[in-house]
Amino acid sequence: MNGNTSVTVLDHPLVRCDISILRSKTTSTPDFRTALKRIALFLAEAATRSLAVARCDVETPLEYTSGYVPANDVILLPILRAGMSLVEPFLSILPDARVGYIGLKRDERTLQPVEYYFNVPAPTPQSVVIILDPMLATGGSVSATLERMYLEGVPKCVIASVIAAPEGIENVRIKYPHTHIVTAALDRCLNDHGYILPGLGDAGDRIHGTI
């Protein structure tokens, strides 16, 4: 995770199939949630590939051998509300992770994200924060979250999103060049209203059935 912003786009046939399910406007809310959870498992695997481990001794039923234990303190940070949908799949492979929450809304006058809720565990020098947001569109909310995390003293952040737009990635790249981004799909662009194209609509609305 050192150097310039690195971007990992998942390349798996099952992920491509599930992305197609998310994109379809005829997909029901339950099927949308299920496909999203399956994709999140692949995101979690990719987002944790560079986590550090430490050697340990393991006693098997037959003898002693060497093994590994996690060396990083992982904090999952969903951006409310859509990011909540990714927490459970990530916890399934990171059962010891701590979970924080950040809520952001857009100021209709300045069009900038404004924080309305923040509750995040205190970071340690070994902390890695994985920011969870299904859609990386303009990058405004993610950039505001990164700014808050680095002000809190977090040494390393990873962004996990289901779909991302080039504009959002470039926004993060300019402001926070040492942040790793993991996404399941890199889409074409944003439209005039800031929606990702071809996209999947509003992830929060589709997850919660509030369309």
Is 124 considered catalytic here?
Answer: no
* From 110, 183, 206, 210, the catalytic residue: 110
Is 179 considered catalytic here?
Answer: no
Q: Which of 127, 148, 15 is nearest to 79 (CA)?
A: 148
* From 16, 188, 205, 210, the catalytic residue: 205
Is 73 considered catalytic here?
Answer: no
Joined tokens for residue 51: 């986590």
Alpha-helical (H) ranges within 48-180 are 87-93, 140-151, 166-175
* From 23, 38, 81, 106, the catalytic residue: 106
Q: What is the DSSP letter of 7?
A: E
Q: Distance (Å, rounded) from C-alpha 81 to C-alpha 175?
A: 24
* Cβ burial, residue 182 (10 Å; 0-12/13-18/19+): buried
Is 187 considered catalytic here?
Answer: no
Which amino acids are annotated catalytic?
A: 106, 110, 202, 205
